[in-house]
Amino acid sequence: MRPRPAHPTAHATALAATLAALATAALPPTALAQSEMAVLTAEDVFDLEYVSEPRMSPDGDRIVFVREWADPHTDRRFANLWIMNADGSDQRPLTSGKQSDTWPRWSPDGGRLLYLSDLSGSSQIHIRWMDTGATNQITNLAQPPRVPAWSPDGSRIVYSAFVSDPGLQLISMPSPPEGAEWAEPARVIDELVHRFDGAGDLDHGFTHLFVIPSEGGAPRQLTSGDFHHGGYVGRSGAGRPVWSADGNSVLISANRHPDGELENRNTEVYEISLDGRIRALTDREGPDGGVAASPDGRWIAYAGYDDRYQGYQVTGLYMANRDGSGARQVAAELDRSVGGLAWSPNSERLYFSYADHGNTKIAWVEPGSDEVHIAADDMGGTGSAYGGGSFSVGPGGTIAFTHSTPTVLSEVAVARDGAGARVLTAVNDDVLAHRTLGEVEEIRWPSSHDGLEMQGWIIKPPGFDPARRYPLILEIHGGPFANYGDRFDVEKQAMASAGYVVLYTNPRGSTSYGEEFGNLIHHAYPGNDFHDLDSGVDAVVALGYVDPDQLYITGGSGGGVLSSWSIGKTDRYRAAAVLYPVINWYSFAVSSDIPITVAKYWFPAMPWDDPEHYMSRSPISLVGNVTTPTMVMTGVEDYRTPMSESDQYYQALKLKGVEAVLVKVPGEPHGIRVRPSHFMQKIKYIVGWFDRYRGMAS
């Protein structure tokens, strides 16, 4: 390992008492925060709002969008629908209350609005008449409907829903005596993926498509068989249905192959007629998804690739005749993964989104052309430096989209033919207008491994003084095939407000730089990405305002992998916060909810066929080198990186004699953001753990 300054000795105060205090205490005061400056802190998570799903009306005059908010009394997040004119005027709520109203979709004539709401206790399809405000709940299903879509004439709605069945029956049991209360029966599982992060244990059955009259009535099932149509979380076959222009059939991406459980990425685009006939429009080894049908009935578009079992493959844009013939890749030289496909109302443009060097763009192409036109930059709005966001297309080349920059958290914006975005909402001005944010700047540096240029961003503490020397937090993204970018990040701004310089980066393997860059970690992660990160820290230290004796490291998921890997490679960090990590690739491959991704794409062989390879890339193999005080934090209901991974690492560190604590967050899946108070605690624990080694926590 590289020689680094020694760690400070542990404080005499017991770790347990310190960590308990961190969960409830306010963020520690800093020299900056002691002034009258108001900064963004973890306590603000209940006051921040997020917009999503901006949907422009067919005439282009109005926009409906979802506004998500957090309730401190119930510690829950809720969402309501809002409407405004296309110029941003006359903003007002369509729904209100402590429920989740999502997925707004205008009827083709603009007279009605479809949306999902759990007002009745479970998410159901509702229809609102826009002239009167009258609302009708048209479904009352035991299993919630998903991804509903209007038919072209507005008379019908297609949706997907889960249909359960008993599954494999191995025994029969007698009925209990009258009045007896026997234990809950055992579950028999014969699926590979039987639980999924955020969903928990999965019932046996399959998702199917249904059609229902738009005024309500009895739904009719369109599909059958042991295949998923329309997406059941955790299992292959995810997709959303779209209607053909003539209204006689529905198109969807699904996996109807017999080996779909083991080849879960091998989806095709299927045409499903209203009488239940099914025809595949694509046929290749690899995913074909996100299908969009042109309104004039001439074209279909979809995204996919020929599967080569690489860790990362660019998802290309494809266009074909309506019957699937004549398929060709469009704009192949773009070398960026595309998504969010949507046709203009006149079928003259196909819109899509992609990320480039950490910035999410909306672009369009014309049928028969490979020329890419940029319609808008800065799509985002999830409250983190990751991508995401959504958009819709209106008449005349106008798009409505969710907008985010390092200083704009989540707003609705419109753009027309690349003329620049106009932000229409200000849902967070009540908070952010009265907060001083940390200034964000881009930084680039060569990796010490091979000189390859890396990109990252620095957040400076509010009230930054270049004459001072600040502690530094390196925050590493997950994925690993994902990207950070020039988007607002609540966690990192709160860290900066606590007096830290925050560095977040896109090391090799990150997306938005092309397929070659993404695959530099193919069958080699973690690995040389450590040098990319280490060099980034050196580059920031060289700027002169970071104390090289006050360096800290954290990250979640893939960032948990790299933070635990890094402290096994160097002792330069005073403390580490390892969040929901993978510690042992062998155990992870056979216990997580993504076993096929791990064993077939991230490794060259099954774990029992090459255990040495799995162990050589496992952070637990380096635990003998670790001296860095480490906090491990994971949600108890995390099935993506199960708690058993964190247990292994924590206990290994304790056996090694390293100062370590394990923080288990009840009821939380991967990411620790479901309950706002848990999200707040997550930020506080990270900052509080690091403050302990700055000498700021008793």
Asked if residue 309 belongs to a domain, the reply is no
User: 57 φ, ψ to 5°?
Assistant: -65, 155
Domain shared by 147 and 70, yes or no:
no
Question: Which residues fall within 8 angstroms of residue 630, CB to CB, at 6 or more apart?
Answer: 564, 567, 575, 576, 577, 578, 653, 658, 659, 660, 661
Range of the domain at 253: 140-166+193-293
C-alpha 667/C-alpha 198 separation (Å) is 10
Token pair 């997580």 in the structure block, residue: 592
Domain shared by 564 and 480, yes or no:
yes
Asked if residue 604 belongs to a domain, the reply is no
Q: What is the dihedral of CA 366, 154, 394, 78, to 10 degrees?
A: -120
Low-confidence ranges of the chain (pLDDT < 50): 2-16, 18, 23-35, 235-237, 698
Whole-number pLDDT of residue 419: 74
Name the strand (E) or helix (H) holding 643. Answer: helix 643-656
Domain shared by 207 and 89, yes or no:
no
Domain edge (last residue) among 293, 327, 360: 293
Question: Which residues fall within 8 angstroms of residue 593, CB to CB, at 6 or more apart?
Answer: 193, 195, 196, 197, 234, 639, 640
Domain edge (last residue) among 234, 262, 293: 293
Whole-number pLDDT of residue 25: 47
Domain shared by 133 and 145, yes or no:
no
User: 352 φ, ψ to 5°?
Assistant: -160, 170
C-alpha 230/C-alpha 145 separation (Å) is 10
Asked if residue 687 belongs to a domain, the reply is yes
What total number of domains does the chain contain? 3
Domain shared by 534 and 672, yes or no:
yes
Asked if residue 419 belongs to a domain, the reply is no
Whole-number pLDDT of residue 231: 64
Domain edge (last residue) among 268, 293, 318: 293
Domain shared by 109 and 236, yes or no:
no
Asked if residue 384 belongs to a domain, the reply is no
C-alpha 50/C-alpha 64 separation (Å) is 14
Domain shared by 95 and 157, yes or no:
no
Token pair 């990319």 in the structure block, residue: 532
Domain shared by 60 and 155, yes or no:
no
Domain shared by 130 and 161, yes or no:
no
C-alpha 394/C-alpha 153 separation (Å) is 18
**8: cis peptide before it, omega within 30°?**
no
| CATH number for the domain that contains residue 258 | 2.120.10.60
Asked if residue 602 belongs to a domain, the reply is no
CB atoms within 10 A of CB 640: 20
Domain shared by 33 and 88, yes or no:
no
| CATH number for the domain that contains residue 548 | 3.40.50.1820
Domain shared by 29 and 146, yes or no:
no
Domain shared by 499 and 577, yes or no:
yes
Report whether 296 contacts 269 (CB < 8 A): no
DSSP for 33-78, written as a single string: TTSS--B--GGGGGT--EEEEEEE-TTSSEEEEEEEEEETTTTEEE
Asked if residue 362 belongs to a domain, the reply is no
Residue environment code for 83-102, b if the CB has 16+ CB neighbours within 10 A, otherwise e: bbebebeebeebbeeebbbb
Cite the beta strand spans of 528-674 per DSSP E: 546-557, 575-581, 630-635, 660-665
- What's the pLDDT tens digit per position in 270-298? 999 999 899 999 999 999 999 999 999 99
Nearest to 44 by CA among 698, 677, 685: 677
Q: Model pTM? A: 0.93
Asked if residue 610 belongs to a domain, the reply is no
